[in-house]
A and B are shown apart, each in its own frame.
Chain A
Amino acid sequence: MLERSRSILLVEDNPDDELLTLRALQKNRILNEVVVARDGAEALDYLFGTGEYAGRNLLDAPQLVLLDLNLPKLDGIEVLRRIRSDPRTRLQPVVILTTSSEERDIVSSYELGANSYIRKPVDFEQFMEAIRQLNLYWLVLNVPPPARA
């Protein structure tokens, strides 16, 4: 059994949201390494060590994936489906972090095995609070499954 890395994979196409999320993490003194993927394909490349990330050590799996749903190339739902259907990433903790509050998005996320579903608030203070609690839970309290190659 191998320890997971303490990194966070942030899948986010909107640079404003990316910057705000990073700021919220920083403000909450979350010092874990944050890897940013700007579309669904890039996220999968990182997780499976393909394309740009070819040769990456897959045992260095992120402790948490923050996944937006509305993404270019490959949308978040499809990314989640690929993560759950591959034995290497099947147990990967994935939290959906999105603007959508559509019931169909919530339902299909849970159906595909999302670990949590968080709606991004407009109010930045509320957003900061959400990020703080999210990381407290998933990075501190929660015990992640072991990484698999």
Chain B
Amino acid sequence: MVALHSLRYRIAATIFLLEVIMMTTVLWIVLGMLSNSAREQVEELEEVASGMLAQLSRPALLTEEYSQLQPYMERMRSDPHLLRILLLDSSRRVVAGTDLQYVGQSAPDYLPGIDSYWRVYEIHNAAEHLGTLAIQFSSLRIIKAERQARTIGILIAATGMVVIAFFGLFFGYLLTLRLNRLTQAAMSMAQGDLGVRTGLKGKDEVSGLGQAFDVMADRVQTERNALQRANAHLEERVAQRTAALEAANRELESFAYSVSHDLRAPLRGIDGFSQAVLEDYSDRLDATGKDYLNRVRKASQRMGQLIDDLLRLSKVNQAPLELQEVDLGQLAEEIIQQLRETDPQRSVRIAIEPDMRVQGDPGLMRAVMQNLLGNAWKFTARTADARIDFCREPGDSAHEPVFCVSDNGTGFNMAHAGKLFSPFQRLHHRDEFEGSGIGLATVQRIIHRHGGRIWAQGSPGAGARFCFSLPATHRTDLPGGTTHEPHNRTDESPSC
């Protein structure tokens, strides 16, 4: 079923409307012409009848002898279009006529007659008015002629309209048939079938549109094929690169594995046999010899520690993040407890804000807190009234809380703050404080992987303050944040 707003019906309707207007006009003109010709015939009849009667009436009126006129009038009355004839003399008395009851009387004011009209002729002899001839004609003839003409006209118009309507619909059908083909081709193409063509031939506009569509489809198909080939090539290259990267990654992993395994074994030998010499041959070594051997042992142990820390640093990037709710305060309490157990003789005042919950990887967040609190513990070793605080601070926004570990220990020069988070960078002499210089690099890497930031403040002798932020909702594995100081706080006696 074709909808009424379709082009086909619009075309048909327009043609039909034009046809109606045209037919009505033609009909109107033809009808006018037909009725005119009927009227002319009647007028001719009137002229003939009235002419003859007037000629006969004149001598009758002059002689006042009407007996010859009367039968003549009766005969003329046999014409169906002539209804009545009345002859009046100059004093308007009926002297002769088809209706005998009026003869000898004054002219009646009114005479009945359906579909009829009167014609009145004055009869003169030179200047003298002799009388009046009144003839009643039937108008049925004209009416009949008009009716006939109307019937024929309507029949012709109706036939014309039917024919035109049929042709309109048919022409519309032909046009829309091809338009539908175009539409279907366009729809198929939109659904991804680029092989579809309209195949319209011819030189008219619709065929032209179809041919333009086919040309466009050819072009689109060619380009899509080229694109697909390029895409396949690209995918191949990506796969190759990925494989190469994976191979490199595996190589790196196995390298780290051999570092862990193969480098530690000889170190154990160096340390173990130095110890063996110290134990078994101490009587043959002087103080310098023993000192040297102890230095050998210390160096190998430090190297062992370095290797372990490096491995830990590389592992931070490898394992996937497993985000859970972690209470940093509780974690800090546990770590402080461990530190107190390893260093029972130290007294450090600790303030930890309770209930500091974040979304983080529990293992990695523990490593962060171990490093930051371990550093604070280590660098307050020579402070008389040692103090470590771990608090939440109002951050830049509610979505990014900031946590700070502050101590009143050795501190550092802000000029070197940039080096703090690079691996193997130490701001203190090895003899003063132990450490490989990898801890803060690991911390920074963990915080960055969580999408957070870390920064440090300090001054020599006045303590250090390490702050980090963690986004409340994590995007996974951000490549890295920035290390800078959003607040310029100079608060040197930190408190919660």
Contacts and interface: CB of A to CB of B under 8 A. Distances in A.
A binds B: yes
Interface of A: 14, 16-17, 20, 23, 70, 98-102, 120-125, 127
B220 interface: no
A122 B260 contact: no
B264 A16 contact: no
Interface residues of B, number: 24
B268 A122 contact: yes
Nearest to A119: B264
A100 B264 CA distance: 9
Interface in B268-323: 268-269, 271-276, 297, 300-301, 303-305, 308, 311
B189 interface: no
B232 interface: no
22 contacts: A14-B265, A16-B268, A16-B269, A20-B268, A23-B276, A70-B261, A99-B260, A99-B262, A101-B260, A102-B257, A120-B264, A120-B265, A121-B268, A122-B264, A122-B301, A122-B303, A122-B304, A123-B271, A123-B304, A124-B271, A124-B272, A127-B268
Nearest to B302: A122
A125 B297 CA distance: 11
Contacts of B265: 14, 16-17, 99, 120
A16 B266 CA distance: 8
Contacts of B269: 14, 16-17, 20
B281 to A, nearest CB: 14
B313 to A, nearest CB: 14
| 4 cross-chain pairs, A with B, having the tightest CB-CB distances, nearest first | A122-B304, A16-B269, A124-B272, A20-B272
B267 interface: yes
Contacts of A20: 268-269, 272-273, 276
A76 to B, nearest CB: 12
Contact of B257 (A16, A100, A127): A100
Interface string B214-236: 00000000000000000000000
Which residue, B262, B265, B301, has most C-beta atoms of chain A within 10 A? Answer: B265
A16 B262 CA distance: 13
Contact of B268 (A70, A100, A102, A124): A124
Contact of A102 (B260, B272, B301): B260
B311 A122 contact: no
Nearest to A16: B269
Given A99-B261, A102-B260, A122-B267, A16 B273 contact: yes
A125 B278 CA distance: 12
B407 to A, nearest CB: 28
Contacts of A14: 265, 269
B264 A127 contact: no
